[in-house]
Structures are given as C-alpha cells and as structure tokens.
Amino acid sequence: MGVIPSRGGTVSIDTPTFQSTEPATGEVIDSFLDMTSDEVNATVDRARIAATWWADLGWDARRERLLGWKALLARRADQLAWLVHREGGKPVEDALLEIALSIEHLTWAAKNAEKVLGERRVKPSLLTMNQSARLSYEPFGVVGVIGPWNYPVFTPVGSVGYALAAGNAVVFKPSEYTTAVGQWMVESFAQVVPEQPVLQIVTGRGGTGAALCAAGVDKISFTGSTATGRKVMAAAAQTLTPVLLELGGKDACLVDADADLDKAVDAALFGAMGNAGQTCVAVERVYAHEAIFDEFLDKLAARARMLEPGSHPTSSYGPMTVAAQIHIIREHVQHAIECGGRVIVGGDEAVGERVVHPIVLADVPENCPAVTDESFGPVVIVNRMRDLNDGVDKANASQYGLGASLFGSDRTALAAAARRLRTGMVSINSWVMYAGVPALPWGGVGNSGFGRIHGPDGLHEFARSKGVVRERFTSPLVLTSFSRRPDTGALVSKALVALHGRRTWRS
Ligand code: NDP
C-alpha cells in the first residue's frame, strides 16, 4: 500500500503499488499504483472533459501540439531509449530505432489527420440530385489504449498518436513491465499540452486493464496476446464498445531458390532474434526452397552462432523481459526435438535463467507447437518448401496472420505470393519494412486480430463517420411523402431501367 502522487487526480491511500524492475539485474526502477476500478473510472471522467476541449481545438491546433510532442521526443530520444533499455532489456540502439519509427508515425498522423478525416462533400445519386451531401469523421471521445511490453513506445504510439490526431482523448494502460516508459511518454505529452489531461496513464496489472475495458470508454485499442485479446473483446461486448485488436503472430519468411541468400539470412536472423524474438512480427518460421535449403541453413547457423546476447547496452539482444516466457520457449524446443526436429544451433541448453541464446531448429513437423504457436523468443524453425506456392500454403496454414516476408528475384512470382499470403502485411526482400511506411496499415487476420493502426486506416479506426444531407431544392419526384404523385412507382421503375438496366458498366 502507499501514496504516490498522481497527475491531476485523486488516489486512495490504500491503493496497492507494484514495482517495475530491470530484467537484467532485478534492480527497481520505480514504484507505481496498482489502480483500482474507482481510480480508472475517475481518470476516464477527467478524460471526458479533456476530450471535448481537445476536439474543439480543431485540426490546426492539434497538429501543432502533436508536432510539438514529436519534436520533444526527437530531442529526448536518447534519454527515452536508455529507459526502454533499462526497463525492457533491449539494446539501446534497438530502442532508438523503435523511437525513430514512432516519431515518423506521429508526424504522419499529425500531418494527415485533416486530409484523411476532414469534412468533405460527396456526390449524391441521380435520384437524390436535390441534396447536398457531406461526410465527416468525428472523434469517438475517450479511447482506452492497452499496450504490451515488447515495444513500449512504438506499439502504443500506433494507437495513441492516431487516436489523438483524430481528436480523441486517450487513457493509456501500459504493461506492468514497462510502466516507467509509459509514464515518461505521458509526462512528455503533458509538457506540450499542459491545459487538459488529454493523454493520461492508468498504472497497474491485468486487473487495471480489465477495469479500463469496463470504464465506459468509447473505443478500446488493445495490443497484446491473443488470449488477453479474447478477454478484452468479451468485456467490451457487455457495453458494445468497439475494439481494435492487435494480437500475436507466427510470421513466416519464404526464401526462394533465386534469392540473395546473404541478404535473406541477414534479414531472417535479425527478424528472428532481434529483441530476443519478442516481436509480434518476428520471423518464427522460415520456409526455404529445397534447392538452397542446406546452403541457407549453413549460413544462418554460422551467423546465429556469432550473436552475443546479454545485458550490455550493445549486446546483440537482451534478456527475456518477462521470465514466464522462458518456460514456453523451453517447452516448444523440447517438443520440437521430441517430434524429430533437428537442432542446428542452441537447443534446450540455450534456454538460460534469463538470457536465451539463439536457437535454430530444422525440419520440425508442421503440427508441432514450435511451428503452430507463438514462441516469442530467439527461436527460428527452418523447414523446406518445394516452391513459393508450397511456401505460401504452409505459411497460411496458421491460426495467425500478422506479417510475412519473401525473398527472391522473380518480381512477378513474389508479387503473386504476396497477394496470396493471408496476412495484414508483407515485406519483399526485407523484413518488417512496412512498419517504416506510415501510410501503410498495420494489423492482422485470424488470431492476430482485426482492425488497423497506421496510415489512413489507422486514422479511420479512431473516428466515426457521419453523413449529413441538406435539401438544396424540392425534387420534382418526391419519394418520401404520403402525398407523392400516384405515378411515382412507375416513374421510379422507368428511372431504374434507364439508370441501371444496362449490363455494361460506366463510371
Ligand atoms: P498480454 O496480453 O499479456 O498483455 C497486454 C496488455 O494487456 C498489458 O498491458 C496487460 O497488463 C493487459 N492485460 C492483462 N490482462 C488484461 C485483461 N483481462 N483486460 C485488459 N487488459 C489486460 O501481452 P504481452 O504484454 O505479454 O505482450 C505480448 C503479446 O503481444 C504477444 O502475443 C505479441 O505478439 C503481442 N503483440 C502484438 C502486436 C501487434 O501489433 N499485433 C505488437 C506487439 C505485441 P499487464 O502487462 O500489466 O498484465
């Protein structure tokens, strides 16, 4: 129990606290309130007032504030990267990259919100020529954003930045493992927007997230595991609150026979092992063409053996952020070996107390949990494909469908494979680069969730469309009146044939 000052709010002195610690050393970074429903509800109440103020500011003022925030983030990126490193364990350079991407997105959302969501005239139909029609996108009001720990800046900014740009206030619940980063983000925003608590934090464990889902927010944007996503959706169903779910993945990387193997190995290795594999779009499965399978595997193994994970700011990757994940990784690896999978690098003994060394397994049966379930660690399965079509079939035979990557030289074949992949994102001859193009959407299918952040779709997620018509003149053919002409039906029939009766299509 304890008292910790909370910006702009009141908290009970009986509120329990929890500590955020460095995964590498266990050293305490800070203590935070494990907020109860009452505190979450009070935060949402404050957000409601802030939401009206923020919406009334209008596009230009909001854009200036958001650009001010991104400039502040850019100036203090080193400080934030250091905190991300300490609290989450990833190398400082990786943290900086995450921040750089976040700033790009924030900039794009701020600059494009009016263009994408601004009110506009739309064409009426021929039957409604007498109407002037306008389409507008209004903010929901208060958006609840619940985030994971693996990308504590990039992941929330994908929702927070776009929701703010669309004119909403946000209540953000970061993961208990990366609360200090969440707090830093919210405090930095308050320096640019000091007037109202437009972006607030609620701190706590899973229960606080559940309380936010029940607090009457107008939309929930959840990023996290598929299991928790189901709970969030069930909770939201009680109040018919719309949800956006960005969930887990089991991404595949397809390497064709004509691929630049060094490039493919380099990208697949970083995609699999970077951030200790704790990336929703990590390369967890590689399907390499039979013709280059051995060569690809040899090169990948050689490069994987050179990695030096650890707790140093410049280690190849850091310790596992959440100790519980180690158990899942160990189970997947042991099961894959029992099923007949070959250990190429690492194996069971690579799974340490906190640091997991690179693990490369080959020829693992497709029905093993290591192939079907998210491992979320520095483990990659390399299996064979006959050709790209076979690879796509194997990639698609997954409960998940988040991202995928393709390596090869035949642009036509790669484009066809990209179209057939049942995923939300595809990267050709690179890994994850779609994340760096702010105009592109981010999101998955199947158990990877639904809804999109980023790009125009990401802005639309945080606004509701509204249509307004205004009669400009009385129509000669009044349709919606009990005193309409007796021959209205006949005239409509004639008009239908004239307007729509032809089989050909003209725009
Ligand atoms: P979790 O599902 O465990 O937690 C996500 C967030 O939900 C945390 O803030 C958590 O709080 C909170 N939470 C826990 N229980 C509830 C509940 N009942 N109601 C509401 N909120 C709750 O995920 P992780 O944090 O472990 O993140 C890893 C997962 O996220 C992986 O599956 C990964 O693939 C996925 N992910 C998906 C991304 C995407 O864009 N599709 C991007 C990044 C990650 P607390 O941590 O305090 O328990």
Task: Give the model confidence (pLDDT) of 421-439 as tens digits.
Answer: 999 999 999 999 999 999 9
Q: Measuring from atom 17 of ligand 1, which residue has the nearest CA?
A: 210
Where is average pLDDT lowest: 138-142, 317-321, 367-371, 398-402?
317-321
* Best residue among 280, 321, 373 to mutate for probing ligand 1, ranked by most atoms within 8 Å of CB: 280
Answer whether residue 311 shows pLDDT above 90: no
Q: Does ligand 1 have an atom closer than 6 angstroms to the CB of 213? A: yes
Q: Does ligand 1 have an atom closer than 6 angstroms to the CB of 210? A: yes
Percent of the chain beyond pLDDT 70?
Answer: 97
Answer whether residue 84 shows pLDDT above 80: yes
Give the number of other Cβ atoms within 10 Å of residue 360's Cβ. 26
Determine the average pLDDT of the residues in 361-367.
98
Q: Does ligand 1 have an atom closer than 6 angstroms to the CB of 206? A: yes
280 annotated active-site:
yes
> Which residue, 164, 180, 197, is CA-closest to 67?
164
Distance of alpha carbon 140 from alpha carbon 118, whole angstroms = 15
Tell me what pLDDT residue 24 has: 83
In the set 39, 280, 368, 461, the catalytic residue is 280
Q: Does ligand 1 have an atom closer than 6 angstroms to the CB of 167? A: no
Closest atom of ligand 1 to 179 CA is: 47
Tell me what pLDDT residue 11 has: 53
Tell me what pLDDT residue 2 has: 39
State pTM to two decimals: 0.95
349 annotated active-site:
no
pLDDT in tens, 441-476: 999 999 999 999 999 999 999 999 999 999 999 988
CA-CA-CA-CA dihedral for 423, 428, 434, 439, to nearest 10: -100
**Distance from Cα 260 to the centre of ligand 1, integer Å:** 36
Distance of alpha carbon 119 from alpha carbon 147, whole angstroms = 31
**Distance from Cα 203 to the centre of ligand 1, integer Å:** 14
> Which residue, 227, 230, 232, 199, is CA-closest to 213?
232
Q: Measuring from atom 16 of ligand 1, which residue has the nearest CA?
A: 206
pLDDT in tens, 101-123: 999 999 999 999 999 999 999 99
Tell me what pLDDT residue 4 has: 41
Answer whether residue 506 shows pLDDT above 80: no
Strands in 419-461 per DSSP E = 425-428, 449-450
- Write out the two tokens for 8: 């702009």
Distance of alpha carbon 66 from alpha carbon 192, whole angstroms = 8
Answer whether residue 7 shows pLDDT above 70: no
The DSSP code sequence of 284-328 is EEEEEEGGGHHHHHHHHHHHHHT---SSSTTSSS---SSTHHHHH
Q: Measuring from atom 25 of ligand 1, which residue has the nearest CA?
A: 148
Cα angle 436, 149, 232 (rounded to 5 degrees) comes to: 100
Percent of the chain beyond pLDDT 90?
Answer: 90
Kindly report the average pLDDT of the chain as a whole number.
95
Cα angle 375, 373, 97 (rounded to 5 degrees) comes to: 45
Distance of alpha carbon 256 from alpha carbon 488, whole angstroms = 63
In the set 246, 284, 374, 461, the catalytic residue is 246
Q: Does ligand 1 have an atom closer than 6 angstroms to the CB of 224? A: yes
Give the number of other Cβ atoms within 10 Å of residue 123's Cβ. 8
